[in-house]
């Protein structure tokens, strides 16, 4: 079965510093990976996805993610964090080629301090 | 993209009662999904609702507890029946704008319904 793991419950970073939110995956075929962000009292917003092609994927709000097949990772990154980036981040994997079901990680809370 | 609204945004309910959550999409979509996000936890898929067919429930979720309607291509409802405090969660609907089953498009989510059961 497909799964994703987010090893950190919380990540703290100072504003202006680079940030990384980690995600590793386990799939039986080609991985289809997604990052979502959830701001307080709001639904999930799509950030970016990896389906195929370039390993570095660029998304919304200046975020990017690097797909690393050998390390089975899909870490979310941003060169310079903003206080407004503070939110809950979810990594997700599509269950298989033939379904639309998303499997979500447990989430990582990002806290950016001024 | 898709704009999704949900009603109500939050509710406080008594044990043993039922609540119906509405989800409206601003365009016609084939598939709609209902998720549950329990306090401090990740999202868990409850069921997939295709227009014109019975909803498909995930392991651990049953139709008697979470009946779903999908009367047309822009609307769905999820009912949480005979509620208990353990049903206190955020319930989210989502959809995917696809050009085919292999499009791997992202899902768009509604703002969620925060349910508290006393």
User: Could you report the per-residue pLDDT of A75-86, keeping only the tens digit for each?
Assistant: 999 999 999 999
* Mean pLDDT value of segment A88-92: 96
Q: Does B97 touch chain A (CB under 8 A)?
A: no
User: For the segment B5-60, what is each residue's pLDDT rounded down to a tens digit?
Assistant: 999 999 999 999 999 999 999 988 888 999 999 988 889 999 999 888 889 999 99
Q: Measured between CB atoms, which of B4, B44, B96 is closest to A100?
A: B96
Q: Is the pLDDT of residue A99 over 80?
A: no
Cis previous bond, A74, omega within 30: no
Q: Does B45 touch chain A (CB under 8 A)?
A: yes
Cβ-defined contact of A98 to B41 (cutoff 8 Å) = no
Query: Which residues of A fall within a CB distance of 8 Å from B114?
Result: 41
Give residue A30's pLDDT band: very low, low, confident or very high (50, 70, 90): confident
CB A25 within 8 A of CB A7: no
Query: Which residues of B fall within a CB distance of 8 Å from A107?
Result: 41-42
Cβ-defined contact of B101 to A98 (cutoff 8 Å) = yes
Using alpha carbons, list the distances in angstroms from residue B29 to A43, A71, B70, B100: 19, 36, 11, 12
Q: Is the pLDDT of residue B102 over 50?
A: no
Q: What is the pLDDT of residue B77?
A: 96
Q: Measured between CB atoms, which of B42, B98, B110 is closest to A43?
A: B110
Q: What is the pLDDT of residue B32?
A: 92
Give residue B2's pLDDT band: very low, low, confident or very high (50, 70, 90): confident
Q: What is the pLDDT of residue A98?
A: 61
Query: Which residues of B fall within a CB distance of 8 Å from A97?
Result: 102
Instruction: Pick the closest to residue A62 from A106, A110, A19, A11 (CA basis).
Output: A19
Q: Does B41 touch chain A (CB under 8 A)?
A: yes
Min distance A28 CA to chain B CA atoms (Å): 17
Give residue B101's pLDDT band: very low, low, confident or very high (50, 70, 90): very low
User: For the segment A3-19, what is each residue's pLDDT rounded down to a tens digit?
Assistant: 899 999 999 999 999 99
Cβ-defined contact of A45 to B109 (cutoff 8 Å) = yes
Cβ-defined contact of A107 to B104 (cutoff 8 Å) = no
Average pLDDT, chain B: 90
Give residue B105's pLDDT band: very low, low, confident or very high (50, 70, 90): confident
Q: Is the pLDDT of residue A34 over 70?
A: yes
Pairing relationship of beta strands A108-113 and A10-14 according to DSSP bridges? parallel
Instruction: Pick the closest to residue A71 from A23, A110, A33, A3 (CA basis).
Output: A23
Query: Which residues of A fall within a CB distance of 8 Å from B112?
Result: 42-43
Q: What is the pLDDT of residue B41?
A: 84
* Mean pLDDT value of segment B61-88: 95
Q: What is the pLDDT of residue B99?
A: 55
* Mean pLDDT value of segment A39-43: 80
């Amino acid at each position: 079965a497909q799964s994703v793991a987010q090893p950190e419950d919380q990540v703290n970073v100072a504003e202006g510093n680079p940030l990384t939110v980690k995600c590793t995956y386990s799939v039986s075929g080609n991985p289809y990976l997604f990052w979502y962000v959830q701001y307080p009292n709001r639904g999930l917003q799509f950030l970016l996805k990896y389906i195929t092609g370039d390993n570095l994927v660029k998304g919304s709000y200046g975020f990017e993610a690097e797909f690393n097949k050998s390390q089975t990772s899909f870490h979310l990154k941003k060169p310079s964090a903003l206080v407004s980036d503070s939110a809950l981040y979810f990594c997700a994997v599509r269950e298989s080629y033939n379904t639309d079901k998303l499997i979500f990680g447990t989430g990582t809370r990002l806290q950016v301090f001024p | 993209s898709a704009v999704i609204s949900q009603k109500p945004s939050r509710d406080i309910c008594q044990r043993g009662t039922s609540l119906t959550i509405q989800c409206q999409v601003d365009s016609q979509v084939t598939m709609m999904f209902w998720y549950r996000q329990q306090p401090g936890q990740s999202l868990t898929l409850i069921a997939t609702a295709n227009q014109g067919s019975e909803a498909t429930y995930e392991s651990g979720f049953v139709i008697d507890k979470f009946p779903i309607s999908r009367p047309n291509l822009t609307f769905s409802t999820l009912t949480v029946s005979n509620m208990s405090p353990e049903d206190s969660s955020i319930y989210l609907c989502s959809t995917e704008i696809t050009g085919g089953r292999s499009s791997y498009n992202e899902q768009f989510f509604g703002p969620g319904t925060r349910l508290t059961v006393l």
